[in-house]
Amino acid sequence: MDLNEFKDLMNKVLIDHNDLFILEQNISAENDIKVVIDGDRPVNIEDCRKVNKALEKKLEEIQVNASVQVTSPGVDEPLKLKRQFRKNIGRKLEVMTKDFKLKANLEAVDEHSIVLTWKAREKKEKGKGKITKEKRQTIAFEDIEKAVVMINFNKK
């Protein structure tokens, strides 16, 4: 089975799960298949199990003997698709470009870029001391080298 045939097969598998999408797929020479799925909502073990079972059934129907593994991305995995950025609006990201690294809240996503916001302490224009200012930056997808959701374990 080649990658194009497999992509067609996965599209048939995911037809009943339109809130899920494929991040990665690998097929070894020995027909070991690994698929990483994500979703427009958090993906759980049951989602992986259902997709795994549906994929195994489709492979059996076309008489392909394969080992199948379906997983979701780890919490530290970088965001790869615009769809992943959209689902994380409102969360804090660490975004790296060739020029800078920024930890900020993802405010918006469009076809070409993301908008990040954060608060920064800056020196007052007049007088002593600092003030807190709201900052905003638009970054084109093509400039993003890596973007990771920052997990906060200290929620109050």
In the chain the domains, ranked by start, together with CATH numbers, are 3-71 (3.30.300), 82-149 (2.30.30)
Element (H, E) at 124: none
Using CA atoms, how far residue 153 sits from 83, 150, 156, in Å, is: 24, 10, 9
**Which among 138, 154, 152 is positioned nearest to 91, based on CA atoms?**
152
With cut-offs at 50, 70 and 90, classify the pLDDT of residue 54. Answer: very high
Pair type for strands 20-27 and 67-71: unpaired
Q: Which ranges of the chain does DSSP label H, i.e. alpha helix?
A: 3-13, 45-61, 82-87
Residue 155: per-residue pLDDT: 61
Mean pLDDT of 59-82: 93
pLDDT tens digits, 102-150 = 999 999 999 999 999 999 999 988 888 899 999 999 999 999 999 999 9
4: pLDDT strictly greater than 80:
no
Q: Is 113 strand, coil or helix?
A: strand
